[in-house]
Structure 1
Amino acid sequence: MAEQAEKSAPQTTGSGSGKSMLGQLELDMRLMGMVGAFILIALAFNLFTDGRFVTPRNIFNLTVQTVSVAIMATGMVFVIVTRHIDLSVGAVLAIASAMGAMMQARWLPQLVGLDYGNPMIAPMAIVTCLAVGTLIGAFNGWLIGYQGIPAFIVTLGGLLIWRYVGWYVTDGQTIAPLDKSYLVLGGAEGTLGVTLSWGVGILASLAVIYALYNARKSRKSHGFPTKPLWAEFTVGGVIIAAILGYIATLNAYDIPKGKLRRLFEARGEVLPDGYTEAYGLPISVIVLIIVAVAMTMLAKKTRLGKYIFATGGNPDAAELSGINTKLLTVKIFALMGFLCGLSAVIASARLASHANDIGTLDELRVIAAAVIGGTALSGGIGTIHGAILGALIMQSLQSGMAMVGVDAPLQNIVVGSVLVFAVWIDIQYRKRLGIKV
């Protein structure tokens, strides 16, 4: 019996005998398919735009444009995982943006006497956006969890209500200018520069090495098989190369001479001949990275995350096991609202104003990003990194078609077709793996 047990024990040497080289890498093939799709999209649009798509300038703009949808998509993962839907995210972004803009341009200067440029304006506006989004999200969750109204109906009503509440708050006007400190979160007005960007890239690379080492150590301590060392080095090397390559690309995008000249003049200086300066990593991307890490940790390392996925997998069993699914629903939608408020800050700062059409159709882009990223509409399955990659694919399609000259109606037709096709591919993939769909 002892010999049989020894033979049946898991091997921890990581030799990977009996597996192909690709099998020993243990890659997530669905994720690899998404990465491959993104690369193909980028190469195709680069060909049709005579090399203008894959340039430092366009990569920078593409990244900045993706951030607000990607942030909301991370929250939509939790919503869909628990078998709900949120159609109101674009409208909640709009009302949060309206309230934040009014705080900066109207209420604080007129009611409190804080002049434009006061250091308290930007923090108070940000807190306003976050608070408005969180409160609306919690209210949606209460209606869904405790009052039993379907999420589709509650959030469909919110889609119609909150955008036009924002319209009345601003009297239908575009609100500008916004505080300069606030605009730092939007993209071009707030970047780290070359040196700090390389510092972030190096720190991110070290974090990848630590994460791989820690995961390998954990698998060994629990007696699970591990990858061969060459496979670990290959995976880590590819990820680090992607991080440093992205940083190098952003650092290759120089600030236009005219803008540099204005910056120097604002400081009472003269732009030296031949002087150049690159944008580097946008602060909005740093915010997205923090959100992604926090949401991933929440999903994998906390009790709340385990409850979310357990409830999505089997709501009845989760309730019978003692999970307060009603309160859980409130928490999930409050978190979704908070992320909508944060996206409102990013989006309005990027545009340097609040306009009435801000966030229009974002609800569809956010849902599409989560679904394309592998979140199952049947519940229980979804990843944060997949949703962010889905948002990047969606934005790449839209930006690429705009650069090629495709008109807006056809762009929406293509995006809708891609969404349906992605869901079909996901269903076929899960069927092959024997996962119930």
Structure 2
Amino acid sequence: MTDTSHRPQTQEKDGPIAAFLRATELDPRLIGMVGALFMIWVGFHVYGEFVLGDGSFLTPRNLWNLSVQTASIGIMATGMVLVIITRNIDLSVGSIVGVTGMYMGLLQVEWLPQWLGLGHPMIWVITVIFGLAVGALIGAFQGSLIAYLSIPSFIVTLGGLLVWRGVAFLAADGRTISPVDATFNLIGGGPFGAIGGTGSWIVAAIAAAGVIWMIVNGRANRKLHGFPLRPMWAEVFMAALGLGVIGGATLVVNAYPWPKGILKQYYEGLGQEVPENAFISHGYAYPVLILLVVAIGMTILMTRTRFGRYVFAIGGNPEAAALSGINTRAMTVKIFTLMGALAGLAGVIASARLNSATNALGDLDELYVIASAVVGGTSLAGGVGTIYGAIIGALVLVSLQTGMVLIGFGDGSYRKIVIGAALVLAVYLDILYRKRIK
């Protein structure tokens, strides 16, 4: 039996684009987001090239930095998807980043060295675990207030925004805590906080094998359960698309070399002269790899587990979910606990990247995280959202910020105007989309 015999007959009125989308099962909103991202990248690069005489956006250096800058926002956006799907909101994530970052700074700079000694190899491990635990506890506390005291999430997390920011300031009396542990600092990226060219190709090979396995296994499962099969050309196209993205991204990060100063420092440490035409690739930065691991884990959680099904059930109809036996209160606590832990992880990356803990750490991150989830297709009405959409949304917003800096609009006021306009436009487009599919 051929593949097409398993599929419903395509309606004659469908055009080639509709037929292509049906065969490949690509989400039209995903295509729209990727198209918007591409236009943003090309627009900033062309403007810089022909107006400013310096097209620096589509360069390995800028794209590598863009990926690192997206990591912390993207990690929190994956958690915000769950929060918004269940018709809640979390305005405190930026302040959680600030308070966890500040206490992690104190822990590794002032407290642990007194007990373990300066530079002890366990300092960074204890610090990371501490940051995740503190973030999770804050999230659990706020989730409990929402679930068991019936206080609206907007009010609880708005209070948290103010409370945790104040706690962060009082923790060190407004001081900046630096420098952080040397190993901890690597988590934030940089020339030494990346896996290099060879490591990046190894990661790419593993990811490519994963893409092929997903397509082959998915097709086998469809046959096993009698579900319609995609045409073979569509399977090949999806495999080629996945492999192309992986290969292209790896080529870009490997095309960004270490700066000359870092090269000189590196070879001096080896007792050697810098070779002529020396080239050492950055490769994938640690924050980007952490983001990828979080994205895969959260996608599995949302699409392959009972927890994920409960999240969508609560978002679709909270009353019906409760009547069907779902413990909506416990689920709310779990969701906010997970959101707090992800904010703690973002605090690890942000403070490591700055090599310090400052009172401005995570400032306004809550707005960018919420905007990323919404721009990525998560509906504020609840019940709809994807992890990959939130990450693409984060990449869109960070691209807008970075591009405006590169073309000379570095003033934060302009960036806030653009992000605010993008958020309103995204919500409007979501309203139009939901009206269309009804």
TM-score, with length taken from structure 2? 0.94
Query: Alignment partner of 1:260: what SS?
Result: helix
Q: Deviations over 1:295-328 (max 9, x none)?
A: 0111111111111111111100111111111111
Q: Which amino acid aligns with 2:407?
A: V
Calculate percent identity across the aligned residue pairs: 49
393-402 or 230-239, which moves further after superposition?
A: 230-239
* Aligned equivalents of 2:368, 2:26: Cα separation in 1: 27
* Aligned equivalents of 1:281, 1:72: Cα separation in 2: 20
Q: Deviations over 1:186-231 (max 9, x none)?
A: 1113111111101111111111111112222222222222211111
1:88 corresponds to 2:87? no
**Matches for 1:419-430 after TM superposition, within 5 Å:** 419-430=423-434
Which residue of the partner structure matches residue 20 of structure 2? 22
Which residue of the partner structure matches residue 233 of structure 2? 230
Tell me if structure 2 keeps the 8 A contact 1:49–1:404: yes
Tell me if structure 1 keeps the 8 A contact 2:6–2:227: yes
**Matches for 1:94-243 after TM superposition, within 5 Å:** 94-110=98-114, 112-115=115-118, 117-188=119-190, 189-243=192-246
* Aligned equivalents of 1:187, 1:426: Cα separation in 2: 35
Which residue of the partner structure matches residue 343 of structure 1? 346
CA apart distance, 1:267: 4.0
**Matches for 1:349-364 after TM superposition, within 5 Å:** 349-364=352-367
**Matches for 1:207-286 after TM superposition, within 5 Å:** 207-286=210-289
CA apart distance, 1:173: 1.0
User: Unaligned 5+ residue runs, structure 1?
Assistant: 1-9
TM-score, with length taken from structure 1? 0.94
Residue of 51, 55, 77 corresponding to 1:73? 77
CA RMSD between the two structures: 1.5
Which residue of the partner structure matches residue 290 of structure 1? 293
Shift in CA distance, 173/214, structure 1 to aligned 2, threshold 3 Å = same
Which residue of the partner structure matches residue 42 of structure 1? 41
1:12 corresponds to 2:6? yes
Q: Deviations over 1:358-409 (max 9, x none)?
A: 1111000000000111111111111000000000000000000111111221
User: Unaligned 5+ residue runs, structure 2?
Assistant: 50-54
Q: Which amino acid aligns with 1:33?
A: G
* Aligned equivalents of 1:404, 1:274: Cα separation in 2: 31
Q: Deviations over 1:249-294 (max 9, x none)?
A: 1100010111111122234443333322110111111111110011
Tell me if structure 2 keeps the 8 A contact 1:15–1:228: no
Query: Alignment partner of 2:284: what SS?
Result: coil
- Write out the 4+ residue segments of structure 1 that deviate beyond 4 Å after TM superposition: 13-19
CA apart distance, 1:13: 5.7
Query: Alignment partner of 1:49: what SS?
Result: helix
Residue of 369, 387, 390 corresponding to 2:390? 387
* Aligned equivalents of 1:327, 1:164: Cα separation in 2: 28
Tell me if structure 2 keeps the 8 A contact 1:14–1:226: no
Q: Which amino acid aligns with 1:367?
A: I
Tell me if structure 1 keeps the 8 A contact 2:375–2:423: yes
* Aligned equivalents of 1:61, 1:235: Cα separation in 2: 28
Q: Which amino acid aligns with 1:149?
A: I
Aligned length: 423
CA apart distance, 1:11: 4.0
215-224 or 236-245, which moves further after superposition?
A: 215-224
164-173 or 391-400, which moves further after superposition?
A: 164-173
Q: Which amino acid aligns with 2:420?
A: G
1:404 corresponds to 2:418? no
10-19 or 326-335, which moves further after superposition?
A: 10-19
* Aligned equivalents of 1:213, 1:14: Cα separation in 2: 21
CA apart distance, 1:433: 1.0
Q: Which amino acid aligns with 2:34?
A: V
Query: Alignment partner of 1:300: what SS?
Result: helix
CA apart distance, 1:44: 0.1
* Aligned equivalents of 1:127, 1:40: Cα separation in 2: 40
Which residue of the partner structure matches residue 52 of structure 2? none
* Aligned equivalents of 2:113, 2:180: Cα separation in 1: 12
* Aligned equivalents of 2:25, 2:292: Cα separation in 1: 25
Q: Which amino acid aligns with 1:292?
A: A
